[in-house]
Each structure stands twice: as structure tokens, then as C-alpha cells.
Amino acid sequence: MEARREQPVVVVGAGISGLTCAWRLRREGVNVVCLEPSDRVGGALRSHAKDGFLLEAGASTVLETPELVDLITEVGLAKEIIRAQARLPRYILHGGSLHALPTGLGSLLRTRLLSAGAKWRILGELWTPPSRATEDESVDAFIRRRFGEEIGRVIVAPFVSGTFAGDPTALSAHSVLPRLVDLERRYGGVIKGMLGTMRSARSRGSSAGRRSLISLRDGMESLPRRLAQRLGDDVRLGARAEAIRRDAQGAWVVSLRRGEEAMQLSARAVVLATPAGEAARLLADVSPPASTTLAEMTSASLAVVSLGWPRAAVSHGLHGLGFLTVPGEQPRILGCLWPSSTFAERAPRGSVCFTAFVGGTLDPQAASLGDEALGELVRHDLSQVLGISGPPGVLSIDRYRQALPQYGIGHAQRVARAREAIDRVPGLFVCGNHLSGVSVGECVRAAQDTASAVFRYVGRSVDFPTRSV
């Protein structure tokens, strides 16, 4: 059924956060308009079909969460969910060799990834006193303090560069490793905390199952495309929000440009689901404190390169999800996923494909290389690591100027300041991966929370009935 046509809520940005928020509002009968300056929806969720390959230039696999699965189901894509093979190993490239990432105590003791001293240092964490400091510290400082230098350099730094394209000495432990920080706070140590939570779960008779890594049969971009399809003409591509303000009656006015046409929309509320820098620009006059705080949040640039080879040209067994590189070692790529090993039908029969990541805060120049140089860099690195012969087919190169927000030291305090300033402006809302998690599942959950807050706000003065779409 159609939503009632009151003054709309305007959502700026049609990435997964903006589309999810708009969809939730539409489900509640709220008239909503979603503005997107580019010619496509989905933001960093990009899927390419080329020469029989299905390539992901954004999230290749996502962790299954209830909110994400519910959203996929609501828009009719439940039958398109595919799951990665359980317990596929992840690898760390260290010292020129691939080492399976340890997943338990036994594999930790057997691995050649760590020295004997590093393994003893892990056990020593049981007797390491908790910090009494209250200020935030870097990921690197936290891990060194609890587990030693080698664990930080060989295991945690690749995770940080692979997940955030970031520098562990600059990122916040509180924001990047919240569970580990909380375990130290509550139990006095990380390992003590893990053992304590396991005992508590057993005593309650609960068993949290391992969540699957999932994707969609035609790629993750299927989800934002389907959301936009369901929202119909209320998603307006090529529409750039130029400014926002409140008029004398308290209504929001969104000035936008679509091609050569300038126009204004009157809105009940505005949701900014954009990168932090764009939100800061739009808030400069509306909420200078929020604008200043959001402008402090930086992002890393990244290039994503997908290549394919005949399977016979690759000597490595390719049983796994892919590998991450220890920063400062060769090769130059941050890591590489093996999509055709993770899901069926990602490559034609007799072929394999790879998705490599280049750039990040520690090597920003690499993301700016020309296409030919970038393709050659990745080809060389993968050939060396995986024993590949012959030229590849470079299938796609995607570049992101604001790929991943950097949760720097003090990030939680910046988020709190920004939210406090935003909350002082009636009808203004902000969501996105710069505030509450970079994963697709976290973005979906936060966008749904934002939609609930918007609904409560508009419902105070207008009776919006709950309607199905």
C-alpha cells in the first residue's frame, strides 16, 4: 500500500544505511524521499558480472546477523542467500609464507606464525594486571600491553589493515576492539574474561552458534538494488543535496540540484546517511558543533582489484577465504580474497578469481596508481604468493576515496559529542559507518535504530499508521 503523502522525511544518501532507513520508514507508512548524488545506489556495495565471473568490489562476504537476514527476507531475497563453507581457514602472509590463522589453543601452540616466546607471552596475559587508566589507547598499545609486540605486529596489525585499511598505532582500541577492552574492564584480563563468559554461558545452558558468512547469489549489490526497486520513484538518483536549513515555521528545507535543475524540498525531518565529511558540510550552518566534530573523522582511500586466471595456472591449493599481509612486509597489497573458493559460481568452470585490496592509511599512494600500474602490482604480488604463471585477466578496478572511516583514538568521545549536538536540533538525524560500525550488519542495525527514532519524532505530531508495502 502507498504511504500517506504528508510532508516527507528526506534521507540524504542511498548507500545501505540510507536505503535501510528509508525502507523502514516506508514500512511504517511514512512518506520518504531518498536523495543520491551518483547514478547508482549501494555505495560501497558493488557487484560486477563480467565474462562469466561474479566480482565483488565491496563486501564479498558479510557476517549473518538477525537484522540483516530479516531485511533480506523482507525484500524477497531470502532464497538468494548463499553461505560460505564452514570453517574455511584464513591466512596471514608472514615471512614470505602463508600461515593459517590460529582458531583455538591447539592450533595456536602448533602454528609457525608465532615464535615460542610469543606463545608464552599469550599465556602470560593471565597474570598481566588490568590498566587503571581511563583514557582511550591505540589498538597497538592495548595489544602490546596485554599480549606483547609480536602478537600485535603479526596477527592484529593485518586484521586492522584488512578490516579498516588503517594503522593500529592510530586507531582506538575502545572502538575497534570493544569486546576485548570490555573483557579486561569486567574480568581483569582478556583470557580470564573469555573463560568467564564461557562458564557463564554453560551455566545458563546457552550455546551461541557460530554465525555464517553469507552473500547473495547475484552479489551483495542485489540488496540495495532491491531496496531501491521497492522504494520506487522515491529514490532520486543524480540528486545532490546542496544545503539544509529550517524555515521560520520549523520545517526543514533541503536545497538540491539534479542535473541543471535546482529545487527545494520541504521535509518533516532530515536523515544524513552520508560519509562524515559530507555530513559535516551539510551541518556547517545547522549545527556547527556537530559539523566540526564530524569533520575530525577521517577515511582511508582504497583500490579494489579483481583478477582471474585459469585454475591450472595457480599452484596453490586455494582452500580458504584468502589472506592478509603483515604491514611493512612484502607484498604491497593489504590482502586478497579468494571468491571462487568461498562460493560456487563466482568463476567459470576451469577458472579462479581473486580480489585484492591496495592503499589504506599506511600506503595511500598505492590507491592512486594508474590502472595499468595497479593491475601489474597486484599481478606481481599474487604471482609471488600463490605460485601463479601466465598473465591474468584484469576484470575490474574500483577506487574509493572515502573507503573506510578511521576510528582514531578518542573516536567514541567524538561520536558522543556529535550525537549530543545533533540531538539538540529537532528533526535532524545522522547515521552511517563513521558512527556505529563498518560492517554491513552493523550499518543495517544502526539504520533501523535511526528509522525508529525518526518515526517517534514524526509520530509526536502526526498519526502515521503502520502499513505494509
Mean pLDDT in the chain?
Answer: 92
Residues 414 and 291 in one domain: yes
CATH number of residue 182's parent domain: 1.10.3110.10
Angle at which helix 440-459 crosses helix 16-27, to 10 degrees, equals 40
Together in a domain, 415 and 377: no
Domain identity same for 56 and 182: no
Do 310 and 362 belong together in one domain? yes
For residue 415, what is the enclosing H or E element? Answer: helix 411-423
Q: Which three cell numbers stand for residue 222?
A: 542485489
**17 and 160 together in one domain:** no
* 451 within some domain: yes
Q: Above 50 in pLDDT, residue 2?
A: no
What is the C-alpha to C-alpha distance for residues 65 and 443, in angstroms, rounded to an integer? 11
Q: Which residues of 80-101 are buried (b: 16+ CB within 10 A; e: fewer)?
A: ebbebeeeebbbbbbeeebbbb
- Give yes or no: residues 150 and 273 share one domain: no
67, 114, 113: which is closest to 92 by C-alpha? 113
Give the model confidence (pLDDT) of 54-98 as tens digits: 999 988 889 999 999 999 999 999 999 999 988 899 999 999 999
Specify whether 319 is located in the same domain as 263.
no
Q: What pLDDT was estimated at residue 208?
A: 53
Stated pTM of the model:
0.92
pLDDT 10s digits, 166-214: 999 999 999 999 999 999 999 999 999 998 888 876 777 655 556 789 9
Is residue 91 domain-resident? no
Task: Report the alpha-carbon distance of residue 112 to residue 91 in Å, rounded.
Answer: 12
Residues 215 and 314 in one domain: yes
Q: How far apart are CA 101 and CA 111, in angstroms?
A: 8
Question: How many whole angstroms separate alpha carbon 407 and alpha carbon 175?
Answer: 6
Q: Do 191 and 309 lie in a common domain?
A: no
3 state SS of 35: strand
Residue 7 has pLDDT above 90, yes or no: no
Domain range for residue 162? 103-204
| Residue 329, in any domain of the structure | yes
Q: Is the dihedral of CA 87, 210, 71, 159 positive or negative?
A: negative
436: nearest Cα among 15, 17, 14, 10 = 17
How far apart are the two ends of the chain, measured CA to CA in Å?
5
Asked whether residue 339 falls in the same domain as residue 270, the answer is no
- Indicate the residue among 140, 169, 204 that finishes a domain: 204
Q: Which of 405, 420, 446 is the last residue of a domain?
A: 405
- Rounded Cα gap, residues 232 and 237, in angstroms: 11
For residue 166, tell me if it sits in a domain: yes
Q: Name the domain boundary from 175, 204, 233.
A: 204
Which residues, 6 or more positions from 70, have their beta carbon under 8 angstroms from its beta carbon? none
Give Cα separations from 339 to 99, 226, 293, 343 (angstroms). Answer: 19, 23, 38, 6
Residue 97 lies in a domain: no
Percent of the chain with pLDDT over 90: 82
Cα–chain center distance at 432:
10
- Please report whether residue 176 resides in a domain: yes
Cell of 400: 574509493
The answer on 256 and 174 residing in a single domain is no
Burial class for 200, CB neighbours closer than 10 Å (0-12, 13-18, 19+): exposed
CA 35 – CA 47 distance, rounded (Å) = 21
CATH of the domain at 445: 3.50.50.60
Q: What is the per-residue pLDDT for 112?
A: 92
Name the domain count of the chain: 3
Query: Are 283 and 198 in the same domain?
Result: no
Convert the pLDDT of each residue in 226-251 to its tens digit. Answer: 999 999 999 999 999 999 999 988 89
Which residues are bridge partners to 97 per DSSP?
A: 94
Residue 4 lies in a domain: no
Asked if 393 and 51 touch (Cβ cutoff 8 Å), the reply is yes
